[in-house]
Structure 1
Amino acid sequence: MPLTRFFLRRPPVPGLPPPALPWRWLQGPQPLARAPLQDRRLFAAPACAGRFEPDGAEQSLLRQHFAQARARFPGPGYLEWLQFFQQFAAPASYLEIGVETGASFAFAQAPTLAVGVDPQLDIQYALRARSKLFQLTSGAFFAQPDLDAVFEGRGIELAFIDGLHTFDQALIDFRHIEQHAQRHTIVLFHDTFPLAPLTASRQRESIFWCGDTWKAIVLLQRHRPDLQVFTLPTYPSGLTVVTRLDPHSRLLGARFDALCEEAMHWRFEDFQGELGRHLNEIPNEAEQVVRRLSG
């Protein structure tokens, strides 16, 4: 079901806040959720990951990936899902790591307090939520002594991790978020479902690059069974959802070196055939997500 129609049909979900009016969804910045923006935005890789000139060979590779991703990932794209989660969760606070141009950050709406972090901010979209922007690495941001003040005592209710595209940094970001989270907090990881070894490598070798963030999801699946983890096969490179957080858990910090040692030597080729199973892939449908969030 298209996500716009979902808001018109969904019944109230016990235990979850009511959604914003469907008209807020329908009147939102719809161009942000269209495929042309997705394609354009993918050319603008995060500055912290370096930049590639889109020459003929890279353009051809990109077109091939888009075609493969369209076939493998039908249904709503990841920008549509980001807008969905903003509307569905109606979070008191939102954190985005890897804001870049603000294409996804702009989905946050009042009264949400939106906090954005990026070492090279280049905001090109109107922001409708009350926003605090930090031109910092995520490490420097979380090292601040007054994070509770930054979030004004609200903690973190919704977060989107789209930073360095390396599994160890993604784990660090998640660990910091969890310390300021509640059980109902939702954390979203981007670029977790690469389709080819070239785009899944730790070192960037192409204009389209997911990195090895997928390893962070596999580690969470294996070592944090208390979490609920599932992955949407959404264009162009997947979106993983993590809920049931425990701000008192210290496992990731205590075992961080061992976890990195375990995953650093994993080869994408050894997971590729069953990556969906390792990521706990679910159908790319709103009903599937709502059922898990309300369970």
Structure 2
Amino acid sequence: MKRHEFLRELHKVSANRNYLEIGVNDGRSLKLSRVPSIAVDPAFKVVTEIRCDVHLVKATSDDFFARDNPLAHLRGGRHPLRNLRRGRAPFGYWRRTTLDLSFIDGMHLFEYALRDFMNVEKHADWSSVIVFDDMLPRSVDEAARDRHTTAWTGDVYKVTEILGRYRPDLVTVLVDTQPTGQLVVFGADPRNRVLHDKYDEIIAEYEVPDPQKVPEAVLERVRAVKPEALLEADFWRPLVRARNRGLRRSRGWEPLRSALARLAVSR
């Protein structure tokens, strides 16, 4: 399955109510959205029809997230709480907008992709779905930090190891899509500060000159699941139901984690 086919189906099974895309290019992935969307790219050149309510942002993702209320386009960025546990919400009381589906396909260097994740997570929740593109390079040349090939993933594949090492609370699923694979992340926690606190340490260790030493497991896609297996998994309906009901992490996360663990065992 090609990456855009997988992303199209992911929109369906996740029943996302909003969408954020980092790295627009010509709009081939953005055109899949049918919900209120924000698309960020400092040099987009959209040449295809877009069929959603979209805010196109011509800026770097770092600059975008530095704005006040960057998600303002998604229902104004906030919406009033109709009821609180102890009576009705007071006038002017607001709840933040949570991103349902995010697609990170910006600069192909791991430190940029990692920062994108850190920024997206601030606006996410345990039920959010976050997707990285170009996570399974097919050769060392394709994974170079300095681009010298037509097809180029850069070294964003390192994000998988970094999240596994520093954020074991997350569940990450490598997906064997063509041509260069994707990583789907579940269990975001906007309160977690580990990546922020360890960012300089991570950069110092993982930023190394070319040629990159790409693990054989990455090149051979040892841990990657078939996209159909993830899309057909039985946790999507409970996830959507829990998200739409606003269930807390304490009530919804563990069943999802268990279902994802079963998927990992079956691959």
What TM-score range do you get, normalising by the shorter chain?
0.7 to 0.9
Q: Is the 8 A contact 1:218 1:278 kept in 2?
A: no
Residue identity opposite 1:185 in structure 2: S
**Alpha carbons of 1:276 and 1:282: their partners in 2 closer, same or farther (altered >3 Å)?**
farther
The secondary structure found in structure 2 opposite 1:242 is: strand
Task: Name 1:186's counterpart in structure 2.
Answer: 129
The secondary structure found in structure 1 opposite 2:131 is: strand
1:229-244 matched pairs, under 5 angstroms: 229-244=172-187
The secondary structure found in structure 1 opposite 2:196 is: helix
The secondary structure found in structure 1 opposite 2:106 is: coil
Shift of 1:182: 1.2
Report which stretch shifted further, 255-264 or 171-180.
Answer: 255-264
Distance (whole Å) between structure 1 residues aligned to residue 215 and residue 133 of structure 2: 18
The secondary structure found in structure 2 opposite 1:205 is: coil
1:117-128 matched pairs, under 5 angstroms: 117-128=40-51
1:69-88 matched pairs, under 5 angstroms: 76-88=1-13
Instruction: Structure 2 unaligned segments of length 5 or more: list them.
Output: 79-96, 237-255, 260-267
Q: Is the 8 A contact 2:140 2:213 kept in 1?
A: no
Task: Name 1:257's counterpart in structure 2.
Answer: 200
Higher helix share: 1
Residue identity opposite 1:259 in structure 2: I
Q: Is the 8 A contact 2:146 2:210 kept in 1?
A: no
The answer to whether the aligner puts 1:102 opposite 2:45 as a matched pair is no
Q: Is the 8 A contact 2:143 2:212 kept in 1?
A: no
**Alpha carbons of 1:203 and 1:210: their partners in 2 closer, same or farther (altered >3 Å)?**
same
Q: Which one of the candidate residues 219, 222, 226 is aligned to 2:162?
A: 219
**Alpha carbons of 1:143 and 1:215: their partners in 2 closer, same or farther (altered >3 Å)?**
same
Cα offsets for 1:109-162 (capped at 9, x unmatched): 1xx211000111211121111111101111111111122423322321100011
Task: Name 1:149's counterpart in structure 2.
Answer: 72
Shift of 1:268: 7.0
Residue identity opposite 1:91 in structure 2: N
Aligned residues: 218
The secondary structure found in structure 2 opposite 1:198 is: coil
Distance (whole Å) between structure 2 residues aligned to residue 288 and residue 277 of structure 1: 22
Task: Name 2:216's counterpart in structure 1.
Answer: 273
Residue identity opposite 1:116 in structure 2: A
Residue identity opposite 2:54 in structure 1: S
TM-score by length of 2: 0.76
Shift of 1:211: 0.2
Distance (whole Å) between structure 2 residues aligned to residue 220 and residue 266 of structure 1: 21
Residue identity opposite 2:180 in structure 1: S
Q: Which one of the candidate residues 171, 174, 178 is aligned to 2:117?
A: 174
The secondary structure found in structure 2 opposite 1:241 is: strand
The secondary structure found in structure 1 opposite 2:36 is: strand
The secondary structure found in structure 1 opposite 2:188 is: coil
Distance (whole Å) between structure 2 residues aligned to residue 228 and residue 292 of structure 1: 13
Distance (whole Å) between structure 2 residues aligned to residue 87 and residue 189 of structure 1: 18
Shift of 1:216: 1.2
Distance (whole Å) between structure 2 residues aligned to residue 276 and residue 230 of structure 1: 16
Residue identity opposite 1:80 in structure 2: E
Cα offsets for 1:197-230 (capped at 9, x unmatched): 1000111111111000001111011111110101
Q: Which one of the candidate residues 49, 53, 56 is aligned to 1:133?
A: 56
Task: Name 2:143's counterpart in structure 1.
Answer: 200
TM-score by length of 1: 0.69
Q: Give the fraction of aligned pairs with identical amino acids, expressed as a percent.
A: 30
Q: Is the 8 A contact 2:137 2:153 kept in 1?
A: yes
Distance (whole Å) between structure 2 residues aligned to residue 218 and residue 289 of structure 1: 26
1:62-73 matched pairs, under 5 angstroms: none
The secondary structure found in structure 1 opposite 2:59 is: coil
Distance (whole Å) between structure 2 residues aligned to residue 117 and residue 174 of structure 1: 14
Distance (whole Å) between structure 2 residues aligned to residue 280 and residue 145 of structure 1: 39
